[in-house]
Structure 1
Amino acid sequence: MSFSVPHGDEYLDVDLPGCSVTVAELPGGDPIDVREAAEDAVADPHGEPLADRVDGDDDIAIVVTDVTRDAPDGVLVDVLMDELAEVGVDRDQVTIVIGLGLHGPMDEEQIEDELGEYADLAENHDPDEVVEVGQVGDVPVEVYEPVAEADRVLTTGQSEPHQYAGFSGGAKTVVIGAGGEAIIKFTHGPEMLSQDAVKLGTIDGNPFREAVETAGEQIGLDFCLNVLPGPEGFLAASAGDSGAVVRDLAEDARDALAYEVEDEYDVVISGVGAPKDAQLYQTTRGITYVVLSDGAPVKEGGRVVVPAVLDEGYGSGRGEDRFYDWLSNADDAESCYQAMLEGYEPGAQRGFVTVRSLRHADAYITDSEDPELVEECLMHARDHVADAVPMGSKVLVVPKAPKTLLV
């Protein structure tokens, strides 16, 4: 059986003769016109309309996602700017903050591509230039200074299945994307991530999500505009109170993105695609989203195969550096996992969930520009997908793993 899997901005055609192949087809849905859906969502929000939350003399911070996400932030910002103009907010009262977390900064070309006419209003978040605005337990909630100083804080982005938060988006874009190391360390540390309720697709009762939403309230997040990505295009938009927005889109996601796993497989081929497969840090989502899902389709000792470009190596940024240091210096997944249980610096959490997954199944990264890097980091490199799949294997293909709920 032949099939296609994402590889950068294109697709690889794969044929596995002699294997039993099942493709995880998602219910999906009809793609929306993002601008029209966003305008409708802002006109009918969860909670008060934006016009009732903002005064004409307010200084506004809009926190958007970075290049590791493929959210249509430029369109969403444009919709918000139209609404702000209606209440008398001028362009020069708005600062757009790119929520990097501990990822590397975006360059001028990337910012222009994402934000278009609003690129001149944008600046990269700096996790070292933060102001404490509250606490979650004993942990300080810090946020990038321009966000802390704004009269009103808005956010755009997408709500999609997320390894820790259940679904991304909402307050997470501000709390983590524009936050300081303390809250990132707390929410992404081994004590938090080893809890059963911290998992893909789970919101209610998820302590990670609860911490993020509490921190968002302390930061003063006023309004959220998010979209739901689907297999092809975007499927829905929602606006208003951030927690309600995430829950709204999560309900749509469970209808559109869930695939019921009915068996165990020798091999799972996990598609990631652009922009995430440009770097190993983000590519490992193709491993962890499969192994640590509720459906958990790959049998113990099996393989997860992820085609990826890796033209950016392991990635750039503080978090990516820490991820690479842990994996490249480890002898094996089990010893690395046990060492990381004792603690690690924020950003290294992607290494933690990766080695947690590698204790269950081997990972093969194929079709990459940097096979040496893959081999350095406890994974195996192969030239092509077919080279990583033993003859006679029972195979599940998950074409877009980061946008799939395996249940």
Structure 2
Amino acid sequence: MRRRGPRRERAPKAHRADRRRRRGHEGRGERAGRNRETLGEKASGGSVTPTNDAVIDALAAGFQAAFFRGKKVTVAVPDLTRPLDYDAVLSPLLALLDDAGAQVTLVVALGLHRPLSRTELLPLAEVAARYDARLVQHDALADDLVELEADVGADHDGWPALPARYSPAITNADRIICVGVVEPHQYAGFSGGAKTVSIGCASHATVSAMHGLEFLRDERTALGNVEDNPFQQALWELSHPLGPKWGLMIVPDGADACHAAQFGPLFAAFQSCVEVAQDVFFEDVDEPFDWLHLPVEGPKAVNFYQASRAVTYAALVDRPAVREGGLLILEAACPEGIGQGAGEQACAEAMMRGQEALMAELRGEREVQTRGGQQRAYVLARALEWCDVAVVGAPEMPELEAMGIAQYDSVDDVAAEGRGRVVEDVFHAVPRLK
């Protein structure tokens, strides 16, 4: 109930060579780092931004043309839920792969999120067309998924059955390049790394198992933690049956800049960026606040499933900056309501059971079958154990009422008392106590 007032077929090789000449392409040495300026020219179709510059530097340092020459290369990229300038990031990479004669497939690593619309897919389609790359969107329920191993978790006590089952765009590749945005993540500690394929390009059963209660009940499955995180470990176990994996990892800093970019073997590139991310994405405060205002804009504001991460980040970070029993005010438009993908709809169904029932299930007091997407409802229920939540500016959602979350038309309608502050970008500046 709303409360108001007191409140995306390759061209023949000859054609590709002609096109490269038209773009001013020249022959290259084995390593991109020998000529950064040439690399910049090759990617001249890309956006000229600080992120573009950082990616060119990373590729100049790490790209080895011989490793990719003539190979089938699948580049997995995140969907719109991650802050990524496709043109700025992908143009330099695809230019090098094109020059190496690689057969490139771009796959949108959707996981259980909804497919991108034609309009949303256009920036990717334009980059793919520029470099004759095939573009596909992952479908976790497709009939042609390939199972490489029945259960990678069989040797781990307490793990669910984890089938390594993937899109053929991934399993048919000679080389896989994961493009990842390394930022705080509720379960993996940080996004990026193996998660781009192990979740983004895996089967519905795989994603659901990864987000089951076994990992959620483990306190090491936590925001900002990667060292002993079983969820993060399982991501790498799932990726082991796949072919050689490299990564282009980005630590974002606003819309068109980044703190760091690394290209190389996937694990090394990811670890390097995690070290940076651990330093820049958390903000220490001296004393707890009575309330925090969490405005969310852009892709994460498209639905409550994404926007609610602001709440769970703020409430479930180690040493939260909002006091126990305090208030988190989430301001997000959420035009798609809870969300339209299979995962989002599973979350909505779980939310309708209410916060108390979800906590009982999480504690093992009630038997329940879970599926991918419902994990968001459980972590939201856990956040509500710590503090109250109010949602501002979104359409009415009965799922919120079922969870005991009040909705308001504006921030002025919320009766927030005591000491508080506005957290402008909680996803990249998570407040916590010193």
TM-score (norm 2): 0.79
Q: 1:272 to 1:136 in 2, by over 3 A?
A: farther
Q: CA deviation at 1:231?
A: 4.7
Q: Counterpart in 2 of 1:291?
A: 315
Letter in 1 for 2:429: T
Q: 1:221 to 1:404 in 2, by over 3 A?
A: farther
Candidates 118, 128, 133, aligned match of 2:128: 118
**Residue 39 (structure 1) aligned with residue 56 (structure 2):** yes
Candidates 136, 140, 148, aligned match of 2:152: 136
Q: Counterpart in 2 of 1:334?
A: 356
**Residue 152 (structure 1) aligned with residue 165 (structure 2):** no
Aligned partners of 2:207 and 2:177: how far apart in 1?
20
In the alignment of these two chains, the number of paired residues is: 367
Q: Counterpart in 2 of 1:28?
A: none
Q: Counterpart in 1 of 2:213?
A: 190
Q: CA deviation at 1:107?
A: 1.5
Percentage identity across paired residues of the two chains:
30
Deviations 1:78-108 (A, max 9, x none): 122111123222xxx2211111111111121
Q: Counterpart in 1 of 2:119?
A: 109
Letter in 1 for 2:405: M
Q: 1:192-211, aligned counterparts within 5 Å? A: 192-211=215-234
Letter in 2 for 1:200: L
**Residue 100 (structure 1) aligned with residue 100 (structure 2):** no
Q: Counterpart in 2 of 1:71?
A: 84
Q: Secondary structure at the match of 1:157?
A: strand
Q: 1:50 to 1:213 in 2, by over 3 A?
A: farther
Instruction: In structure 1, list runs of 5 or more residues that go unmatched.
Output: 1-30
Q: Secondary structure at the match of 2:311?
A: helix
Candidates 32, 43, 59, aligned match of 2:72: 59
- 1:50–1:83 contact (8 Å) kept in structure 2: no
Q: Counterpart in 2 of 1:350?
A: 376
- Greater RCO, 1 or 2 (C-alpha within 8 Å, sep 6+): 1
Candidates 222, 225, 230, aligned match of 2:253: 230
Letter in 1 for 2:323: K
- 1:97–1:123 contact (8 Å) kept in structure 2: yes
Q: Secondary structure at the match of 2:347?
A: helix
- 2:65–2:96 contact (8 Å) kept in structure 1: yes
Q: Counterpart in 1 of 2:422?
A: 397
Letter in 2 for 1:121: R
Q: For structure 1, which segment, 112-121 or 362-371, has the greater mean C-alpha deviation from structure 2 after superposition?
A: 112-121
- 1:294–1:406 contact (8 Å) kept in structure 2: no
Candidates 271, 274, 297, aligned match of 2:295: 271
**Residue 250 (structure 1) aligned with residue 263 (structure 2):** no
Letter in 2 for 1:355: A
Aligned partners of 1:231 and 1:268: how far apart in 2?
21
Q: 1:59 to 1:312 in 2, by over 3 A?
A: same
Greater per-residue strand proportion: 1
- 2:348–2:399 contact (8 Å) kept in structure 1: no
- 1:186–1:192 contact (8 Å) kept in structure 2: no
- 1:167–1:246 contact (8 Å) kept in structure 2: no
Aligned partners of 1:204 and 1:183: how far apart in 2?
22
Q: For structure 1, which segment, 241-250 or 288-297, has the greater mean C-alpha deviation from structure 2 after superposition?
A: 241-250
Aligned partners of 1:275 and 1:155: how far apart in 2?
21
Aligned partners of 1:166 and 1:397: how far apart in 2?
24
Q: CA deviation at 1:324?
A: 0.4
- 1:308–1:366 contact (8 Å) kept in structure 2: yes
